[in-house]
Structure 1
Amino acid sequence: MPRALLLLLCALPAASQKTHEICAPCHSGQVAEFQTHPHFAKDLSCDACHGPSVNHRTSTGAAAPDRVAAPEEVPALCGGCHPGEGQAFAASKHAAALMRRARPRAPSCGTCHGVHEARAAATIERACGRCHLELSALHSGKMAARCLGCHARHTLAAAKP
């Protein structure tokens, strides 16, 4: 019994410690990127998306985190906290391609918003241009030509002229 109590007392400080501080020794790159993300500023930590990962942290490194979302799971994961945006994305052509796994690299939340890091507008434009080469060339160098200038956020549907 005293041994169990000692283990419990030793675990309490670790449990109250910010998850990103626990993750940083092995995942320093991801934690550094995450510190630029708006979720970090709102005091969210790794376990908000990856789960508490107790087994992962206490293992020798062989166990995976509790949750690493597959591409088609990302919109539902993000939609748990952002339901309006999740519903809008679910109605998009990109979501349809992602869900039927026709295009496993189809855009999802992390494409525009970043997974661990915040994304600049120029990065978003390049991401769209990877698949939409003809449009990227057509609008190249035009200041007014920003994807989100004509396409609705989250659904990415073209605005009606």
Structure 2
Amino acid sequence: MRRIEQFLIVAAGVMTGMLVFVSVCPSWQKTAASVGDSNDRPEAPVVKAISAPTAEPAASFVANSFCLVCHFDFDEEELALKHEVAGIGCERCHGESFRHRSDEANVTPPEILYPRERINPTCMMCHPRQDLRHLADHRPILEAALNLSEEKPTLNQDKKYCTACHGTKHRMNTRTIRWDKHTGVLLQEKN
């Protein structure tokens, strides 16, 4: 192939990538909107980054339908429903888990599993301390929250975890298989 053809192919690929990036990147969308031409047109209303939950799932919600094929009892589960209304699907916390959901034998673990000591710090990635400090009933939760980068967290059975009140049913009722939540290693197979 001649150099010019190679250059054109590479340039087309780079331009396509840039166009896709600009079209999906929120900060570029704001920049592009603010740079526009100088015609007299009204200012676009400012949209808040986080809006209050509504009764309907947010438009950006990624359907949980793949997960609900096997985890059918989660379609009415409180934690899943509240996150769905906020536009947050299973993938946000558990990863895409493509291999897990494609494994009919169900021996492949989800991408992200949560040992108890990682529950609070993970929840606090979206629900930060400063939002919970004023809630007296959340003090035990704040005490149990560890830093995500902590190498060897200690598991204290006396500490409270977010899932003790929120998402008490966000667990499989009947487990036919178990994985080590730290390593993802299969511990128990189906009978």
Larger radius of gyration: 2
Structure ranking higher in helix proportion = 1
